[in-house]
Structure 1
Amino acid sequence: MRKHLLILWLFALTCQLAFAQDSPKPMSWKDVATWKSMPNSGFKLSPDGQWMAYVLTGIEVDGELILQKVADSASKKSFPIGNANFASFEFSENSQWIAFKEYPKFTEKQANEKAKGKPLKEKLHLIKLGTADKKTFEGVGGFSFNGEAATHLIINLPKEGNGEAKGADLLIYHLASGKSQNLGNVREHALNKAGTHLAYSVDAANSQGNGLYLLTLSNNSIQVLDSDEAGYQSINWTEKGDAFAALKLKKDKKYKQEKGTVLGVKNISNPQVTLYEPAKDSIGFDQKYTISPNRRPMWSEDLTRLFYGIHPLVLTEKETPKKELNKDSLAAAESVKIAKIMADTTIKSIADLQKAIAKLDTGKVSGKKSNDAKKPEMTIWHWQDDRLQSRQQVLESMDKNYSFWAMYDVASKKHIALQDSSMRDLSILPKEQFALGSDQQAYELDINLNGQMYRDYFIVDLKTGARTPLFEKFYQPSFASMPRPSTDGKKLLYGKDGHFYVYDLTAKTHTNISEKLPVSVVDVEDDHNVTKPLYNPLGWSSDSRYVLVRDGWDIWQIPMSAKETPINLTQNGKTQKIRYQYRFNLDPEEKGIDLTKPVYIRTYGELSKKSGIATLAPAKTGLTAGAKVLLWEDANIQGLTKAKKAAVYTFTKEKSNQPTQVFLGDATLGNAKQVTENAPDAGKFAWSSGVKLIDYVTTKGDSLQAALFLPANFVEGQKYPTVVYYYEKLSQTLHNWANPGYSGTGWNPTLYTSNGYAVLIPDIVYKMDDPGMSAVWAVLPAVDAALKTGVIDETKMGLHGHSWGGYQTSFLITQTNRFKAAAAGAPLTNMISMYDLIYWNTGSGNMSIFEASQGRFLGGPWDNWDAYERNSPIYHVKNVQTPLLMLHNDKDGAVDFTQGVEYYNALRRLKKPVIMIQYLGENHGLGKIENRKDYSVRMMEFFDHHLKGVPAPDWMTKGVPRLQLGDHLDERAF
């Protein structure tokens, strides 16, 4: 009997162990390192839509490329691509080939990093689709097929040696014959769209053979277009591929920059070269300028004009003209010296006299120091500087390299400067009849102070270069107001005073095109301190007859003809709370919205959180408007693409507990099938059991929503520890998959739900002058509403946010004691001191952010002291009872490190439980993988202790003395 019982017990134990091994487990932070998934842009279709490829990559694991026929899953093959941060793979235009790079393996990278060896080489693999043929090229750089022709594979080979020559080998592989040819010393190359011609420049040792060349790929013939002891660069083909422009640059010892020449090449079957040399145009070209290498030259569409950049020449120090000495002043100075020496009674000998002369000889002439005198390193900050000195430092390189557009008329052989320093920006409009110029220098100081955007606009005639004012002090509350051209280049759409207008460049008339709409196009949900911001328009139709705009819900088609009336193309957006958000651009080469074809639109249910894709029918007279729903699900659906040469469509779909997958279908997207196996190890881990959508009303009466992500293995009726996370409005992420990874903030909701936490993400809307209190008014009611679900354990709630969310966290714990732990990343803690600090990443001051952007204050602290103080965590620090973990890095270029230090020291002075983590040299978010790993683990340990009762590690209870930090980090590293 005992024997049978023992056998049954062993059998049960074996089954239990087997079940435990097979059942999904919580994902640990160590598991993240070897997690493989498909990155963004990690999927591609062949142009004919018959083949697909996607990559799976990981942080500390080697990736793979999956290749298969779309209709035949049995054809699937996997190829190793090494440890790739950004995988590189391309199909040929004729859909017969695929090329992809293989990077060094993770172990090779580790060993090389440890040995501090030379850069590891990469491989390129070429496969003929449908065959087992694979050719490998060793030690490569970039690659590309030759466009539409798809007859050659062009491969960059890394430059060998450190010589002055800028050229390297270019390998041209003939796909049909399998033969290779090598072009040496190629500095730059570019293929035309058809793939028939390769333009390239040579840059060799001692400039021998330098020049601009054209290779005809069909017969392998090479033509020398220009040759000189100069550098050739910036090759730029026309869109049609029937001509190209380039620059030739020569050194001139007199100047710091090279002097440039523009080359234009057209009639490529029998090349005709236009050469414009400013140095020989002393009448038409200001010789204080030269052609700039910092702007790519280009042909006009009709090949009659060349456009290029110019910038001022700067003399070298040797050539800088020296001011002539004033002989009278010099003589007077010498007389003063002699008088001083004669009056010096301490001179007793020749040696004393020499010392006295040396002492007086300070090297000053006319009050200026000689060149060998040391100069101080300093900055002068002046109150009337348009830009802060810190901003000038950030933009210094860009300012030095700034260039102005100019034009050369080939027939008249005339150069025309199109802009100067009084008009800093210029956009050449379609068809090159006009250009839109703008400048904000007159308002830049005020823009940097209060954030309200103004700009002057001009119209430039590209036939004559004549400039005509269009707007003076034009107000731009948002990007939507900026003028944007029609596809024919004859009209401009712009926003003003809550309406959209069209300016006719030929007739010079302004027309309000939105005043007849029965709805407003003002974004009433924008709660920043700006006046009448508009919803971004979808843009112009391809024939320039219509403009498509949004009212936040529906899409309206507005005609340019007064005989037609605006049409609501979608009809049900506002009534059913469906947002027709944006258009999928399925043709990268399109010019405007082609309304003769179905227009695909991304849809989103504001209250349901559903998403999908709909089409707008072609705009025809008498056609009944209304969107046709193709997909509409409780999921996050987006990323619609189309095969270039076939009616094969793909889109992505994901849920909060289902990794992103690619689906493939026809133009109706009906019966679409999943074609990827993203996150192949997903079945090994436990994910969130689902989501709940929470409706709530804020203290101020706003109706908002929150996303509640259930923990893995959720049991109805059981309560769970919960982390509340926020950043303005995020309830729209209800169906978003958060791919496991080490983020720059330590936060990943998927890891928390996998490990038994519920995650609540509420929306926050803001009231002016109360950014902190707005969080209190929104978050606490959201928590109250979520508690009614029975999911959240009220005694085990934590808070987390980063940056602006970190500010909300640091403020919330001064207003409530409901939360048992809080983690704040890079928080703003003193709105008064933060106002006057610098956003070092851009060099700009914070005041414009506080007044017109995220801060949402009316004016500065001096005029609004109570509001700034009321919303500053530091002034309510006595109220804090919640243990706080704070991340703040010493090189934070967004929220100054002193904000973290100020809050930490105040809490520490009051003996409040606070720990601040600082990673040396890190910015606003963590960049180094070792730091990301470390903080991700620490933050979860912090919440595990306070919300789950897990024993606290020593670093939390005792801290880590400086002398023991090295050992501590060694023990934790993984």
Structure 2
Amino acid sequence: MALAQAPKLTKRPLNHTDYDRWQSVRLEQLSDNGRWISYQIDPQEGDGLLLVTGVGSPATKYSVPRGYAARFSADSRFLVARIKAPIADTRKAKLKKKKADEMPKDSLVVLNLGTGATQKFPNVKSFALGKDGGSWVAFLQERKDDKAPARPVATRDTTAKTPANATASRKPAPKKPKGDDLVLLNMADGSRQTTRYVSNMTMSENGQAVVYTRESIIDSLQSGDALVPGVFAFRTDTKQIRVIDTTRLHKVYKGLSVDKTGGQVAWMASADSAGADQKSFRLYYQNLAGAAANAPASKKGRTKTPTVAGASTGRVLIADTTTGALPKGWSVNEFAPVRFSEDGQRLYFATSPVPPLIRKDTLTPDDEKVRMDVWTWTDTRLQPMQQKRLKEEKERGYTTVYNPATGKVVLLASREVPTVSVNYKKDSRYLLGMSDMPYQVISSWDPGHTDLYLIDSQSGQKTKIANDVMASEMRISPEGKYAYWFDERDTLWRAWSITEGKRIDLTRGLPAKLFDEEHDTPNLPGSYGAAGWTTNDAYFWVYDRYDIWQIDPTGREKPRNLTNGWGRANKVRLRRIELDSDDRPAERPGIQPTADLYLTGFWESDKHTGILRIRPTKEMTSLGVASAKAPEVLVSSPHRYFGINKAKNAPTMTFYRGNFQEPINLFVTDTTFATQQQLSRVNAQQDSIRWGSVELVKWTGTNGIALEGLLYKPEDFDPNKKYPMLTYFYERSAETLPDYKFPAPSRSTINIPYCVSNGYLVFVPDIVYTTGNPGQNAYDCIVPGVLSLINRGFVDRNRLGIQGQSWGGYQTAYIITQTNLFKAAMAGAIVANMTSAYGGIRWGTGLVRQFQYEKTQSRIGGTLWEKPMHYIENSPLFYADRVQTPLMLMHNDADGSVPWYQGIEMFTALRRLQKPVWMVVYNGEDHNLVQRHNAKDLSIRMYQFFDHYLKDAPMPVWMKEGRSAVEKDRGEMKY
């Protein structure tokens, strides 16, 4: 008897209600011992889930509903995370128009990984853990029961004779104390201490010191009062609190900082009240080593704050308005962070000129005050740019350093050299300064000019080491021996030898191109980047398109191809994986050349990716240098591999993998990659939904250039059927072949999974550009690609749509002026008229748009007066009378990138010509939609538009009737 077959799963197409529940796996964390992994699974809209899993078999698993921002303790015994309030509760509060302080708050959870026991704390604002040690967690918990201290009500002496109209004297009620509860919890033994009215706190990386400030408003400042404002330190080893600063005059504290070991503290304090229009801050420092501690804490669980007495000695005033090392009229900048270097030998902060005190005009009514701008040709920055940077300029600080050992304060930055790159991880004497001040005027049309300076942190002396360079990746090497940068003018990596005081052309004569070989804009090409410097700054590792080169900065050794030319021979782009550091690039440590070298690989031929490794030979290890050999492929497949991470003290590694058909999931392995275990399994609902496939397609453009693109096809694709097809593009997208595409509401472009699930083909062609003809270039690449697919027999020539946003929107608008091939077009945030857009402002940045047309994406390659016909010939507006394709525009009235009036120019031209055109404008929205409900609305309307013209669906009401201002005022919606 034959076995009955399981019924075939009936699949349905995606619809707009599916988006919210589509999940992402992200923010994985590994415990230092490699035995635990946490990660979040978050839907696009709704409550997420924090999962914690043990590494091994059987694996212990925990889950924390709505958990996020998780961190493991340094001893790998505990996990601490925040818990979001339920989305439903937050939504209810919004509907009730609750104030911000009445909205549902986060909670905190502490999970014991060994036992599974949890502790939860409500209304938590922030928390801190020791990065490198300690079992304590510190968190600020909002108080809900605070009331201003009561005063006795004044009473009348009925025996005294007083006037009949006399009233009793009443003092105003005292203000409610400020701040939150600081809870100090020892996760190992459960003991807890609470300090009230704390405004800020921080914990040392070794977990041994918690430093906090208190700014309470109280009636008395008696010594020993538990509410006394000031700066305090709690030692986790002794459970004692020490007074750092309780000066009566100090009313506001900021910039709290503690060094890595918890032995040094710095803070800013002001005698001005928090509500003062202008506050003057002083910066203080104290070395806590050897000072007497204060009263011990209770040994019983939760305790009250112990009484503190007698501030320890040794407080140093680092800087204020009287500091001789600063220019006259300068003081501490309150807006910049205060931070110790990794070794505690330097304290970095910022100073700035004290702004003049300007009294507010209280005698002139607001409607009589003059409001105007003055634009002058001598302005270094245009007025709109000044307005966008107003807050930044008002708060601008100049990097300054204090040496605790010598007590010396040195101003590093200046008005002439405002930018200084600081490596907090390595305390090198010399820092790199950068200045674009001489070039601010020309940056409107020719950005990128920079002068480079070497700054001596001991004296503040500045030495110019490069004048007017077009440079990128400007940094100091990890050991501080070299300043280095990529010079785009001659495509060389250069360095400045600090010990020898001379410039070195690191890569001159190297038999490889180190600049972007596919660069196609009129500006200078950038580099492929650098892997970094090896230990002791012995060698510099730099990328060409495929391989890694080792450069000896002394010139004694010839350059070596560390990957032995394997990348170029196989057309695989190899890049080093940074396993042991999450620091920013300027702070990454030197590369250990004798360690295993892990690489990502991108196979250009079929767009696969993978992970590779080079293991050093014993001979090279003994010599302390890297091996030059072909890499070993550990994993490679038609997926995107990314996000490789490694435990600090164990071989445990994680990575993400996915492709168009396989949702992105998290995997765990070890340094051998012998086996890979999938940890997460998200979006199981995809199995019940019609999905699709993607393939790489190739054709030749009208210009004779060989081109590539992607073709997305519906599930159960039948090459004998005819399908409607949407063409979407930007510049080059073929390399995204292995990428997963999330079903999501449209911020501005079509959603590929939705389209193929609903029966469309989607074609995504690459575009190759030349200078001066961007519109024609787009036509020469896109239209032949579409025709090549039509010739394959499965594309319905009469049901072709085209869509693009921003630069893609411009190209869409241009193409429909040149061909009637497409039956419907949707273009978002277009430039319709390059002549009027050229001198306009990008309101999001305040920059004038000239540079974009001359040097970057628009690729005209000259000014409007040098190449007027290029601007006209590439502008869709001047050919509006040729358009016969129905067009849907989106251009939002708060667009900060492309002026809104560009969409209006195109719309009004086509309207006058009686061409079918619609424009949707989302009020207050930017270049791409930000608010999710607006994105959902656009998704509905855009697919209604295409379905009408390409699938014979009925014309929706909004296309027939529009939406009048009266209907909008009444809140009426039409679909």
User: Given the two structures, how large is their TM-score scaled by the length of structure 1?
Assistant: 0.87
Instruction: Summarize the Cα distance change of 1:791–1:587 in structure 2 as closer, same or farther, 3 Å threshold.
Output: farther
Deviations 1:215-240 (A, max 9, x none): 11122111112222322322233356
Question: Shift of residue 273 of structure 1?
Answer: 4.1
- Equivalent of residue 38 in structure 1, options 8, 16, 24: 24
Within 5 A, what are the aligned runs for 1:726-875?
A: 726-875=729-878
2:179 equivalent to 1:179: no
* Paired residue type of 1:484: R
Aligned length: 896
SS of match in other structure, 1:806: helix
Which moved further from structure 2: 408-417 or 847-856? 408-417
SS of match in other structure, 2:658: strand
Instruction: Summarize the Cα distance change of 1:69–1:836 in structure 2 as closer, same or farther, 3 Å threshold.
Output: same
Query: 1:335 maps to what in 2?
Result: none
2:932 equivalent to 1:929: yes
Q: Structure 2 CA distance, aligned partners of 1:821 and 1:561?
A: 62
Query: 1:654 maps to what in 2?
Result: 658
2:514 equivalent to 1:514: no
Which moved further from structure 2: 896-905 or 514-523? 514-523
Deviations 1:618-663 (A, max 9, x none): 4655844222221221111111111222101111111112110111
Query: 2:370 maps to what in 1?
Result: 376
Instruction: Summarize the Cα distance change of 1:577–1:789 in structure 2 as closer, same or farther, 3 Å threshold.
Output: farther
Deviations 1:260-293 (A, max 9, x none): 3222333546487451254584654444111111
Compute the RMSD of aligned alpha carbons.
Answer: 2.8
SS of match in other structure, 2:268: strand
SS of match in other structure, 1:659: coil
Question: Contact 1:266–1:272 at 8 Å: present in 2 too?
Answer: no
Instruction: Summarize the Cα distance change of 1:760–1:791 in structure 2 as closer, same or farther, 3 Å threshold.
Output: same
Question: Shift of residue 816 of structure 1?
Answer: 1.3
Question: Contact 2:178–2:197 at 8 Å: present in 1 too?
Answer: yes
Point out where structure 1 has 5 or more consecutive residues left out of the alignment.
1-14, 321-368
- Equivalent of residue 47 in structure 1, options 20, 32, 48: 32
Question: Shift of residue 754 of structure 1?
Answer: 1.6
Q: Structure 2 CA distance, aligned partners of 1:272 and 1:789?
A: 84
Within 5 A, what are the aligned runs for 1:272-671?
A: 273-279=314-320, 281=322, 283-299=324-340, 303=344, 305-317=346-358, 374-410=368-404, 412-428=406-422, 430-448=426-444, 450-476=445-471, 479=472, 482-496=473-487, 497-570=490-563, 571-581=565-575, 583-588=577-582, 590-618=588-616, 623-671=627-675
Instruction: Summarize the Cα distance change of 1:970–1:822 in structure 2 as closer, same or farther, 3 Å threshold.
Output: closer
Query: 1:264 maps to what in 2?
Result: 285
Q: Structure 2 CA distance, aligned partners of 1:425 and 1:862?
A: 35
* Paired residue type of 1:493: Y
Question: Contact 1:501–1:514 at 8 Å: present in 2 too?
Answer: yes
Question: Contact 1:70–1:675 at 8 Å: present in 2 too?
Answer: no
Query: 2:963 maps to what in 1?
Result: 960
Question: Shift of residue 212 of structure 1?
Answer: 1.8
* Paired residue type of 2:675: N
Question: Shift of residue 138 of structure 1?
Answer: 1.7
Question: Contact 1:305–1:410 at 8 Å: present in 2 too?
Answer: yes
Question: Shift of residue 851 of structure 1?
Answer: 1.4
* Paired residue type of 1:638: F
Question: Shift of residue 459 of structure 1?
Answer: 1.6
Within 5 A, what are the aligned runs for 1:154-233?
A: 154-158=138-142, 167-206=179-218, 208=221, 209-228=228-247, 229-230=249-250, 231-233=252-254
Which moved further from structure 2: 692-701 or 651-660? 692-701
Instruction: Summarize the Cα distance change of 1:104–1:285 in structure 2 as closer, same or farther, 3 Å threshold.
Output: closer
Q: Structure 1 CA distance, aligned partners of 2:865 and 2:176?
A: 58
Question: Contact 1:452–1:530 at 8 Å: present in 2 too?
Answer: no
* Paired residue type of 2:581: D
SS of match in other structure, 1:23: coil
Instruction: Summarize the Cα distance change of 1:406–1:149 in structure 2 as closer, same or farther, 3 Å threshold.
Output: closer
Which moved further from structure 2: 155-164 or 925-934? 155-164
Question: Contact 1:260–1:290 at 8 Å: present in 2 too?
Answer: yes
Deviations 1:837-889 (A, max 9, x none): 11000011101121122111222111101111111111111111111111111
Query: 1:3 maps to what in 2?
Result: none
* Paired residue type of 2:601: T
Q: Structure 2 CA distance, aligned partners of 1:591 and 1:761?
A: 41
Query: 1:897 maps to what in 2?
Result: 900
Query: 1:8 maps to what in 2?
Result: none
Instruction: Summarize the Cα distance change of 1:254–1:203 in structure 2 as closer, same or farther, 3 Å threshold.
Output: closer
Within 5 A, what are the aligned runs for 1:21-100?
A: 22-33=9-20, 35-41=21-27, 43-72=28-57, 75-81=60-66, 87-100=68-81
Question: Shift of residue 69 of structure 1?
Answer: 2.5
Q: Structure 2 CA distance, aligned partners of 1:108 and 1:411?
A: 53
* Paired residue type of 2:904: V
Which moved further from structure 2: 70-79 or 538-547? 70-79
Question: Contact 1:530–1:852 at 8 Å: present in 2 too?
Answer: yes
Q: Structure 2 CA distance, aligned partners of 1:915 and 1:254?
A: 50
Question: Shift of residue 318 of structure 1?
Answer: 5.2
Instruction: Summarize the Cα distance change of 1:586–1:702 in structure 2 as closer, same or farther, 3 Å threshold.
Output: farther
Question: Shift of residue 677 of structure 1?
Answer: 1.1
SS of match in other structure, 2:684: coil
Q: Structure 1 CA distance, aligned partners of 2:397 and 2:841?
A: 28
Query: 1:363 maps to what in 2?
Result: none
Q: Structure 2 CA distance, aligned partners of 1:827 and 1:582?
A: 39
Question: Contact 2:346–2:427 at 8 Å: present in 1 too?
Answer: no
- Equivalent of residue 118 in structure 2, options 116, 130, 134: 134
Point out where structure 2 has 5 or more consecutive residues left out of the alignment.
148-174, 222-227, 292-311
SS of match in other structure, 1:431: coil
Question: Shift of residue 175 of structure 1?
Answer: 1.4
2:267 equivalent to 1:246: yes
Question: Shift of residue 304 of structure 1?
Answer: 5.0
Instruction: Summarize the Cα distance change of 1:474–1:239 in structure 2 as closer, same or farther, 3 Å threshold.
Output: farther
User: Given the two structures, how large is their TM-score scaled by the length of structure 2?
Assistant: 0.87
Query: 1:360 maps to what in 2?
Result: none
Q: Structure 2 CA distance, aligned partners of 1:244 and 1:486?
A: 28
Instruction: Summarize the Cα distance change of 1:239–1:779 in structure 2 as closer, same or farther, 3 Å threshold.
Output: farther
Q: Structure 1 CA distance, aligned partners of 2:707 and 2:313?
A: 65
Q: Structure 2 CA distance, aligned partners of 1:613 and 1:129?
A: 31
Instruction: Summarize the Cα distance change of 1:765–1:905 in structure 2 as closer, same or farther, 3 Å threshold.
Output: same
Query: 1:943 maps to what in 2?
Result: 946
Instruction: Summarize the Cα distance change of 1:668–1:241 in structure 2 as closer, same or farther, 3 Å threshold.
Output: farther
SS of match in other structure, 1:205: coil
* Paired residue type of 1:751: Y
SS of match in other structure, 1:144: strand
Question: Contact 2:284–2:319 at 8 Å: present in 1 too?
Answer: no
Question: Contact 1:146–1:154 at 8 Å: present in 2 too?
Answer: no
Deviations 1:937-962 (A, max 9, x none): 11111111222222221222332333
Q: Structure 2 CA distance, aligned partners of 1:232 and 1:58?
A: 40
- Equivalent of residue 878 in structure 1, options 877, 881, 891: 881
Query: 1:338 maps to what in 2?
Result: none
Question: Shift of residue 733 of structure 1?
Answer: 1.2
2:106 equivalent to 1:122: yes
Q: Structure 2 CA distance, aligned partners of 1:254 and 1:594?
A: 52
Question: Shift of residue 764 of structure 1?
Answer: 1.0
